[in-house]
């Protein structure tokens, strides 16, 4: 395994981050294919054995049971200061808004709950999971800054946002002397490269770490078309993200398979080695022990410039999919209030 600094922070992370969305009670959330606690623990323990020190979960994953499984496993198998734990919070609910729960109060409630789920008194990276159009950005950043000052999280990150949203957030944080966003978890892989328009160059300019999710397009970049798995069959959300462009993506997946054969490595290694040339630490999901080995090996594979160009050449722009497709103001009720006062940035 190789290691890097997370952007300009003092956190050292493995170049592969273990994505923990696939761990949790399958009866309690968005996904029906998630692993129970026993199998999740085996994968986490194997990740630690392979040198993976960076773990990504969220309160949203299977109603907090992912956080519970991850927290218990890491507490049992690792020393707290030897792992970097990231979790994420959701937007304010309609009920909270109606009950006068502010953005600051919401964040305090969410991080307290995540810490309780994880059984940890701090997280390393607290991530704004998706843009909350109904809560003033100022309140969110103030709430996050309070969490940092209280020692509940060491750093803050963001996920599923446009570069302009991140630029606005960090400009506001800088003006107020608040903690700034140090990392971005966006949807980015060989068959979905929309982050390259604005986000990648912006983050390079600002020293912000890229930790992309769905690095293997939920498995599509790990296996030849036609091969299937339980997850591939059941994961309706991933189908929604990738099915519409499957035909045009096929040529890229075929090239991944071709290079994997040429180099006698797996498709997973080729796909991740490519993403590792662009980003700090891709967030990779695993549902089987050997998946961890594939991801870990990718950190040691170097692609040539010709190979990189060959993989990239067929890409054509894709429409936004998944959470990013919903990142917009939808009606007057959802109107985003950028500042709590009259002051506009």
Ligand X SMILES: NC(=O)c1ccc[n+]([C@@H]2O[C@H](COP(=O)([O-])OP(=O)(O)OC[C@H]3O[C@@H](n4cnc5c(N)ncnc54)[C@H](OP(=O)(O)O)[C@@H]3O)[C@@H](O)[C@H]2O)c1
Q: Which residues bind ligand X (CB under 6 A)?
A: 19-22, 56, 129, 159-160, 185, 213-219, 222-223, 229, 231-232, 268, 283-287, 291, 294-295, 323
Q: Considering the complex, what minimum distance in angstroms separates the CB of residue 158 from ligand X? A: 9
Burial degree of 242 (CB within 10 A; 0-12, 13-18, 19+)? buried
What is the C-alpha separation between 176 and 164, in angstroms, rounded?
18
DSSP H or E run through 124: strand 123-128
What is the C-alpha separation between 143 and 177, in angstroms, rounded?
13
* Catalytic site positions: 61
Residue 197: φ, ψ to 5°: -65, -55
Nearer to ligand X, 41 or 102 (CB): 41
Of the candidates 255, 76, 260, 279, which has an alpha carbon nearest to the alpha carbon of residue 185? 279
Nearer to ligand X, 92 or 129 (CB): 129
Nearer to ligand X, 47 or 285 (CB): 285
Nearer to ligand X, 56 or 67 (CB): 56
Residues 6+ apart with CB under 8 A from 39: none
Q: Considering the complex, what minimum distance in angstroms separates the CB of residue 264 from ligand X? A: 15
Burial degree of 250 (CB within 10 A; 0-12, 13-18, 19+)? middle
Q: Considering the complex, what minimum distance in angstroms separates the CB of residue 177 from ligand X? A: 28
Q: Considering the complex, what minimum distance in angstroms separates the CB of residue 218 from ligand X? A: 4
Residues 6+ apart with CB under 8 A from 155: 6, 9, 11, 124, 125, 126, 148, 179, 182, 183
DSSP assignment string, 169-215: HHHHHHHHTPPPEEEEE-B-BTTB-GGGTTHHHHHHHHTPEE--B-T
Nearer to ligand X, 102 or 132 (CB): 132
DSSP H or E run through 48: helix 37-49
Q: Collapse the DSSP code of 95 into the 3-class scheme (helix H, G, I; strand E, B; otherwise coil) and give the result.
A: helix
Nearer to ligand X, 116 or 326 (CB): 326
Q: Considering the complex, what minimum distance in angstroms separates the CB of residue 198 from ligand X? A: 18
């Amino acid at each position: 395994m190789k290691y890097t600094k997370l952007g300009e922070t003092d956190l050292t992370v493995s170049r592969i981050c273990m994505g923990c969305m696939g761990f949790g009670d399958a009866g309690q959330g968005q996904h029906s294919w998630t692993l129970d606690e026993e199998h999740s623990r085996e994968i986490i323990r194997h990740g630690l054995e392979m040198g993976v020190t960076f773990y990504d979960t969220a309160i949203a994953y299977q109603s907090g049971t992912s956080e519970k499984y991850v927290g218990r496993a890491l507490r049992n198998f690792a020393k707290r200061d030897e792992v970097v734990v990231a979790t994420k919070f959701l937007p304010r609910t309609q009920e909270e808004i109606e009950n006068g729960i502010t953005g600051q109060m919401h964040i305090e409630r969410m991080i307290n709950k995540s810490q309780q789920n994880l059984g940890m008194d701090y997280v390393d990276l607290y991530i704004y999971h998706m843009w909350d159009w109904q809560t003033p950005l100022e309140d969110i950043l103030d709430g996050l800054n309070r969490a940092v000052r209280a020692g509940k999280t060491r750093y803050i990150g963001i996920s599923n946002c446009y570069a302009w949203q991140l630029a606005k957030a960090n400009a506001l944080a800088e003006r107020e002397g608040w903690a700034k966003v140090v990392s971005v978890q966006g949807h980015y892989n060989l068959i979905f490269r929309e982050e390259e328009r604005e986000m990648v160059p912006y983050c390079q300019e600002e020293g912000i770490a890229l930790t992309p999710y769905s690095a293997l397009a939920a498995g599509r970049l790990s296996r030849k078309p036609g091969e299937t798995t339980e997850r591939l069959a059941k994961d309706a959300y991933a189908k929604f993200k990738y099915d519409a462009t499957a035909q045009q993506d096929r040529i890229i997946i075929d090239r991944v398979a071709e290079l994997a054969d040429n180099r006698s490595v797996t498709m997973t290694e080729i796909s991740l080695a490519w993403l590792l040339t662009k980003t700090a630490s891709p967030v990779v999901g695993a549902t089987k022990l050997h998946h961890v080995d594939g991801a870990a090996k990718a950190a040691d594979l170097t692609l040539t410039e010709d190979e990189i160009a060959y993989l990239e050449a067929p890409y054509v722009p894709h429409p936004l999919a998944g959470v990013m497709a919903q990142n917009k103001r939808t009606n007057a009720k959802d109107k985003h209030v950028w500042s709590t006062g009259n002051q506009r940035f």
